[in-house]
Structure 1
């Protein structure tokens, strides 16, 4: 592995993460001596994935799995299939998982994986071959007590089923706990699909209450309308909010009177995106950021909320449904403008929290109802946000720095107490 963590671009995902760590060091006290631990991935694996395509040709794809920190437990983090996946991006995503898991006090470290591929260009058979070969290649470092993958961008329950089956065949025993986000009948958990979006809603509801923003009639704009963005939007609309703008890879739409949620979801199911929705104004993608709204939910990819867009947004509250959607320069602008940002490492932690529930259920072979899962999820998210909010007020720092302060203290305390071997 090249030393990708040395001198990264400021606005790259890894550069953004490092700047967030630097900001929290003054609040770590004696634990700051261990801070360099946070700036280096523990382990990074790059694998070649050769597969025979349907036309008989052989193609090679690059795969990655990074374990950032394992001080608090086995690695945990998703696998994404995307043509722009890089080692540096996966490193940053793994690091954010370390912080996220610690922020909600789950017994995990942080990990992430990815394959540089456009899955839409592959047949179902080719996708299965890709997944199984990737799983075999990273099988050296994953396992129910080592590192537990999950779905992420362009991956789903079917891909997790193939990963679980491949790992199980290689170890000679069914190991349902090696991945989470599986189909229900293969050890998956109820409530998992909408868990991340639910976490965005719960933390958003709590943050809105604390700044005096009534959800009844509040205007919400969502960028990215996959599992996270759509689930969060449905919950906000159910609480009385108006969905006034949506953007995804197929286009941008707006309606100041509120977009019909049922109709939009039908378009999403039938056409695979929101661009074909007819009962709304169609915008160019950059105009999305100028829409009048009270709550903005970036739930697409990292680096979307730039300094220019941060100056233009009219939102009072930003809820980071995606990982790393806000550049550090944009973060400062939003703070100076008095816009509250609930950071990704707490806002979108609902998914990994229910993944933890799934992992626990798999070990015990005892499964909970969806109501039980939602009650447990809501309590963990509310309690985590309260501690972070109190830390923010005590030190007069942003919620992002407060989240890192709470999480990094837990991570580095574990590092210190475990000591160095040998």
Structure 2
């Protein structure tokens, strides 16, 4: 018999610290914006788009990524970006999420007349407007909603990704692909640091996303060195489509505070470097450093199942091993639209497929808040987390939740 129900899961305060803005639009908004902008879609009904693009399951990673070509096309002006950000905050608030870190690649949205600052201002405006509306109406001891924004550099891009990337590629005809990727990454790092310092836009971290295989983190070392030296938090997509070495690079070369996915942390067969002779020892050392440094793993169950054929079922996801090793884990959606999921659904998936006690769930939820890249100072963060813990424990009492 389950010790929890969906009402409890919706009532507890939650986080989502790994959610992509361009993978989390409302289908109705995508259709409306595409029609207004005369952008061609494969279908103009929600069911039609689910049948053709945003499927309930995907055959491979390319199928999974196909929808982003449509979502990013409608995210081409400040009004659309603000609306999409506002609606994402609203959707999260409605299911009890009280802290949200939205990540996106600003360089995908830069257009003539809309530079990096304008992109960031628009997304911040949408998130801030919803936060202020919700918090102003709060009564009692319910926790406030807060947010941060994570800027993503791209491991790979070409001139077809956006007007910004097209201009960059065409401006450097004698540079290598790796050099052009480095240029874009370092420019983004500099822009993020400067804008955070001269505005109240809630930029909280730097991320590296995109094609992992063949595009190592080392190309972005200068970017991460820059944000590291300027006190900006760091997360890295790693161990999602490549093996443990990718996670190792993220920690050692990029100073990662958190790891996005970390799916292959326990998979010896995914080690590619032939120089690594003691593979069990390598994995053990990597797991130890993650545990010792409390490097939090941003786990996205639905997304991993849809993009990783070597994980045929939820129960075979390494979440169970992560919990056995007592690693710091938080559950996230990755892409609410593309993966047809919510934070509540991800938690239910975990509880339905792994032996997770009430205490372990509470730890995972609180890790999300404690290991968040909270925008305000540490004193405010401690007070906020304490309020979250108090409210969580109140919900445990109301729903008679107890450790066996």
The verdict on a shared fold, with TM-score over 0.5 as the criterion, is no
Q: Report the TM-score when normalising by structure 1.
A: 0.35
Q: Which has the higher strand share?
A: 1
